[in-house]
Structure 1
Amino acid sequence: MTALVASSSSGARVRLPRFDHAGLTIGVEERDLGLPGPWTRPTTPIRSRAALAAAHVVPLPGADNTPGGRPHVDWDATLAFRHELWSYGLGVADAMDTAQRGMGLDWETTRELVRRSAAEARTVGGRIACGAGTDQLDLASVPEGRAGLQAVVDAYREQVETVQAAGAQVIVMASRALARVASGPEDYQWVYDAVLAEVAEPAVLHWLGTMFDPALEGYWGTHDVLGATDVFVDLVRSHQDKVDGVKVSLLDADHEVALRARLAALDPSDGGPVRLYTGDDFHYPELVVGDARGHSDALLGIFAVIYPAASTALQALDSGETARAYEILAATQALGRHVFAAPTVYYKTGVAFVAWLNGHQPGFQLLGGLHAGRSLPHLVELFRLADTAGLLDDPELAARRMGALLEVAGGRP
């Protein structure tokens, strides 16, 4: 792993505490930070895989971002980060769970995010896809039965219209409201039939697991994953001409490979091929690089952390350097697994933390204070792993910011 990134020291040094399992300091590491990895920006579009990074939202540091209140976004930093992703040849998946949908970002602000991001994408010819969900609904007031299902459809329609009017591709997100009011698979079919009828261009369907959002328990009308998969595949089959691909975030590589095979077996006369965009932030190296059984495309939150390495790996795939592509992605895997460790809902903390270390946002914050969901030992280990993977762009800056965090958090050795 270390041979993949620059082995020379950057000259930056930081003192990091070591903790025991109880969170008590048990030692100190004098760490010499390495140079960034040998990452390259592509000079031509990436061809071998469709790849989107799910970007986060930067809060305005001096604003009141109290949990439950109206979010205040630092639009300059938020949009500049998307330009950084486009500059590496990746598409941007916006207004997704990584952007704190339902966890600090309300629908009114989401609409502005969609419009702003799509407009910025047009200035550079970057790919942009945005989530359309139902989070403008008050869950407590959604009625039962068919009236509730109709409310879900109407909410989806409003958001689909917003995304399409902005000129972005639609990602049909999983709906907490639908999970609450649906009584079985037939209700999901009815709702998605109506929603996909509104889609002008092929969309991406998002299956988000409960490790990311516990409120989606029993999605597709059953608690059995295999049964849910049957419902999901039937839905895709019945709307194949309206589905560009599916994003699966279940963190189960074997399930993804099996689902990918079922999608590949769909009758091409019913529509174009259906991509499988992996959302598996644990097993992405083997899934994206693939094997004799095929490969997955990517729509990943971890790509917003490792985007220079991810882009370089995809460029290697374009050049037929499969082994090198896998080596690059595998060298980031320990970082990815740490960022998305349980409780996985707090993975956005890691995305924002690395962005802050690299100077892409002025403060280490998330909307609604969600960055407080990870411990200091977790962040210290995240820093070590980002350095090992060659993903600290400016080691001197990262060292200063890590030292400041340790000082404020009471963890400076």
Structure 2
Amino acid sequence: MDERYKEYLDRVLDEIDNNKESFISTSTYIWENPEIGHKEFKAMEALVELLRNNGFQIETRVAGLDTAFLATVKGKKPGPTIALMAEYDALEGLGHACGHNLFSVSAVATAIGLKKVIQEIGGTIKVIGTPAEEGTVKNAGGKAIMAEKGIFDDVDIAMICHAEGRTIIERRLVAATVMEVSFTGKAAHAGGSPEKGINALTAGVLTINNINALRQHFLQGTIVNPVIIEGGIGHNTIPHKCEMKMSIRATNREILKDVLEMVERCISASAYVTGCKYSINMPNKVYEDLRPNHSLALVFKEALEYLGIDYIQAEDANYSWDAGNISHLCPTIAPYIKIGSPELVGHTEEFKKASCSKEGFNGMIVGAKAMAMTALKYILDKDFRDRVSKEFLAK
């Protein structure tokens, strides 16, 4: 570690430590006031206030999203643009059982730390507030929406951390989406005149059977999980309506496209056999697979080692994240940071408790410091920037 880097690093890390209590206070406030996607007004305001008070230029309602924001600070000389992504939505009925209250603040803490030296080292730091990461609300995928609106066009690298029971630097995630299917048939008395009916529920059941018949041909990592939301209201009436919802995942976006076509054939065949009409709705953006950038990840690893944190270098998982969409636009890292027991499972009460705990707050600060160290090296080291870019462009 050269003296120039060490001097800047000490100042950045000290700034994060000096503001630790305000970071914990903001994270706790967000945890105590959980809001689902596209309704995160309190969380957005709390994060924006923290950034505004630290001298960032603020834009709200970015990309036409009511709870999106952009906070920017620029150095006196040109340099790369670093994006720190913040997500702050909660789960309906569960609250912050995914830890977004921690790592939205972690992104803000990174930016505040870097601001301490940005005038001297140059470049631009952006905190991009991205709503509705959880795919449980309509029009989920704030990062994908903002990417389509050009918010990431001038970004050189992007970073975000996520809560976990272990620290994992390169977690390779899959592409995923949600499909809604509606079959429309014709109601009739199930005993007296069944021949006059068209059974929409049968179409739904056949769709599931058709999908099951194709499972042996699915590539590894492909998951199609259909459920019937509505299949009739009376046992003595032919169901005229069947509503289905499916979670669909595949290793990458190209395979996902093929799987979606396969599923649509299953739906179409079921409608043809039963005589039903059908419609398909895709309520959310596709969450694309997360493209790793090993060069960035290695520097993040060095940061964790400097901080004395144990880690797992790489792991495959069938989770999906709209951070994957950004990884196809610019070099991106999205590490998972330990906030509690290794047995923690996301979207549970135990995870929610860990998200407002001493170990959770420690993980929040670890993520902030490691991202700050990675960003600092990226701004100061042209050879490192070239390695990151070369790897990204080679894929």
TM-score, normalised via structure 2 length: 0.27
TM-score, normalised via structure 1 length: 0.26
* Higher percent of residues as helix: 1
